[in-house]
């Protein structure tokens, strides 16, 4: 982990609690686990481990907002393994769902690392290889913990090889990625095969409306803990913001800034939704210098977008929060938050992508009146007021509105969304009300694309080909 993330990640919101945080001794772990932790050289629990242990061990539903690198895997594995009694029953008692094959393998390895002295049967299941029958046989041999990607798990469940009614604890790791990859239906199908009486444990690096919706729909009074970046932003990142009336004025302002190619030489532009990502890409003057990345794009497209940005073929990369999270980028000159993030921590993740390795970085935020409250929540999290820049006279403010802006006029008296730092840990119920409102207004992304482009977008797309052609010249 680089020093930026180290400084920021391992702080918790409720700083008063830090003195009374439990140690591994306080966990009263069984001897085998305690010895293994000591053999691994783990001296004390990380904040997410401290926050989650007793809740998960107590059998409560739990939501942990924590990034990779914070020790979140062991945060759920430790109480699960502490509670798991020896059994030779055939059907599994613990199910861990993860979005990718790589993560499944990693989780299985963490379990094996923790259990050299405990008899636990663990099996990783994922697709992409022709091993369905071998996996079926392995399941039939009897397992305690299954770690799986949703699709393969579901296929095995409906083939009757795997009985999910015996599951007592369900963990969903990297829920945000899972939902961004469109696994919601798969998850719902799996839930139908699970017993209603079970413990649900969710881990997500970022909070998104989709994650919130899943929590509201499927968890029972979960206890939520957020371990995230907070505190003073690093000095090598300068921040500024612009108050902007609407989407198309944001486009005008962005075009104006991007004209200075020398200054803005590697620019990461964050947008709030896939729809805005596509819309901005289509309207930007610098489209032919721009790559796009969001979860609606296939893996090959995403990989090539990142490569183009990294090797300088594209000067600009438009990205949504979740999908850009795992990408390690070098020397980003500017991070522009075209949309103000709904969850303040996401802003910290965003700006952390500039100013790496002690280089000077620049972060610019655009916010509308509707986004003002989100901006204030971010400022309160950082304990820093982002300096406001004057609107450049030469930039035109647009009167054209997007369909969403037309549909929902700005109402200053609208009830405030509460997500200040102290409220983050307990904001479930307020947000679920907000979500139910948003559900009605949300338009299907595919539908919007279909209406906008009249035909499906082809993946090996025109822009990519154009760029390759230009490169060859």
Residues in contact with ligand AMP by CB under 6 A are 42, 45-46, 49, 68-74
The answer to whether 70 and 122 have CB atoms below 8 angstroms apart is no
Q: Which two tokens stand for residue 27?
A: 């966990």
Coil, helix or strand at residue 366? strand
Query: What is the H or E stretch that residue 317 is in?
Result: strand 316-320
For 134, other C-beta atoms within 10 Å of its C-beta total: 10
Closest CA to 176 of 303, 321, 273: 321
User: Which C-beta is closer to ligand AMP: that of 81 or that of 271?
Assistant: 81
The answer to whether 363 and 354 have CB atoms below 8 angstroms apart is yes
Please state the closest distance from residue 41 (CB atom) to ligand AMP, in A: 7
User: Which C-beta is closer to ligand AMP: that of 46 or that of 337?
Assistant: 46
Rounded CA separation 268/305 (Å): 12
User: Which C-beta is closer to ligand AMP: that of 75 or that of 319?
Assistant: 75
Please state the closest distance from residue 82 (CB atom) to ligand AMP, in A: 15
User: Which C-beta is closer to ligand AMP: that of 52 or that of 73?
Assistant: 73
Please state the closest distance from residue 465 (CB atom) to ligand AMP, in A: 38
Q: Which two tokens stand for residue 16?
A: 């008063």
User: Which C-beta is closer to ligand AMP: that of 73 or that of 374?
Assistant: 73
Closest CA to 5 of 320, 344, 357: 357
Packing angle of the helix pair 150-158, 184-193 (nearest 10 deg): 40
Tokens 């924590």 sit on residue: 66
Please state the closest distance from residue 24 (CB atom) to ligand AMP, in A: 8
Is 398 exposed, middle or buried (CB count within 10 Å of its CB: 0-12, 13-18, 19+)? middle
**Residue count (the chain):** 473
User: Which C-beta is closer to ligand AMP: that of 69 or that of 231?
Assistant: 69
Please state the closest distance from residue 68 (CB atom) to ligand AMP, in A: 4
Please state the closest distance from residue 278 (CB atom) to ligand AMP, in A: 32
Please state the closest distance from residue 114 (CB atom) to ligand AMP, in A: 9
User: Which C-beta is closer to ligand AMP: that of 31 or that of 455?
Assistant: 31
List C-alpha distances in Å: 6 to 23, 190, 206, 357, 383: 20, 36, 17, 13, 19
The secondary structure of residue 388, as a DSSP letter, is B
User: Which C-beta is closer to ligand AMP: that of 71 or that of 272?
Assistant: 71
List Cβ neighbours of 220 (8 Å cut-off, separation of 6 or more). Answer: 61, 200
User: Which C-beta is closer to ligand AMP: that of 174 or that of 212?
Assistant: 174
Please state the closest distance from residue 149 (CB atom) to ligand AMP, in A: 17
Please state the closest distance from residue 43 (CB atom) to ligand AMP, in A: 7
Q: Which of left, alpha, beta for 28 (phi over 0: left; psi -120 to 50: alpha)?
A: left
């Amino acid at each position: 982990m680089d020093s930026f993330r180290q400084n920021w990640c391992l702080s918790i919101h409720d700083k008063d609690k830090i003195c009374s945080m439990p140690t591994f001794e306080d966990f009263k772990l069984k001897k085998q686990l305690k010895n293994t932790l000591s053999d691994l050289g783990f001296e004390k629990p990380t904040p997410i481990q401290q926050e989650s242990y007793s809740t998960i061990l107590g059998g409560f539903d739990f939501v942990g907002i924590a990034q990779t690198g914070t020790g979140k895997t062991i945060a759920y594995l430790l109480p699960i393994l502490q509670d798991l009694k020896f059994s030779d029953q055939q059907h599994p008692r613990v199910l861990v769902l993860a979005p990718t094959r790589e993560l499944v393998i990693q989780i299985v390895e963490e379990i094996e690392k923790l259990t050299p002295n405990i008899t636990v049967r663990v099996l990783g299941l994922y697709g992409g290889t022709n091993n369905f029958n071998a996996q079926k046989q392995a399941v039939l041999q009897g397992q305690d913990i299954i770690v799986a990607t949703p699709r393969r798990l579901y296929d095995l469940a409906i083939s009757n090889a795997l009985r999910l009614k015996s599951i007592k604890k369900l963990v969903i790791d990297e829920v945000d990625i899972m939902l961004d990859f469109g696994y919601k239906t798969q998850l719902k199908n799996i839930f139908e095969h699970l017993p209603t009486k079970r413990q649900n444990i969710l881990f997500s690096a970022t909070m998104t409306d989709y994650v919130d919706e899943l929590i509201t729909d499927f968890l029972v009074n979960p206890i939520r803990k957020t371990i995230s970046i907070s505190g003073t932003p690093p000095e090598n990142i300068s921040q500024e913001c612009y108050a902007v009336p609407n989407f198309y004025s944001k486009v005008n302002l962005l075009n104006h800034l991007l004209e200075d190619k020398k200054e803005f030489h590697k620019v990461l532009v964050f947008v709030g939704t896939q729809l805005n990502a596509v819309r901005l890409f289509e309207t930007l003057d610098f489209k032919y210098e721009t790559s796009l990345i969001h979860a609606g794009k296939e893996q090959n497209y995403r990989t090539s977008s990142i490569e183009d940005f990294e090797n300088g073929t594209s000067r600009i990369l438009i990205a949504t929060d979740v999908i850009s999270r795992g990408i390690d980028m070098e020397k980003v000159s500017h991070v522009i938050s075209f949309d103000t993030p709904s969850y303040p921590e996401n802003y910290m993740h965003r700006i952390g992508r500039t100013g790496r390795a002690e280089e000077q970085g620049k972060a610019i935020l655009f916010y509308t009146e509707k986004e003002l409250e989100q901006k204030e929540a971010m400022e309160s999290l950082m304990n820093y007021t982002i300096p406001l820049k004057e609107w450049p006279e030469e930039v035109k403010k647009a009167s054209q509105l997007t369909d969403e802006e037309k549909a929902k006029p700005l109402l200053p008296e609208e009830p405030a969304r509460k997500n200040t730092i102290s409220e983050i840990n307990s904001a479930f119920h307020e947000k679920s009300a907000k979500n139910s409102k948003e559900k009605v207004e949300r338009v299907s992304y595919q539908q919007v694309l279909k209406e906008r482009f009249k035909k499906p977008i082809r993946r090996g797309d025109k822009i990519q080909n154009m760029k390759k052609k230009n490169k060859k010249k």
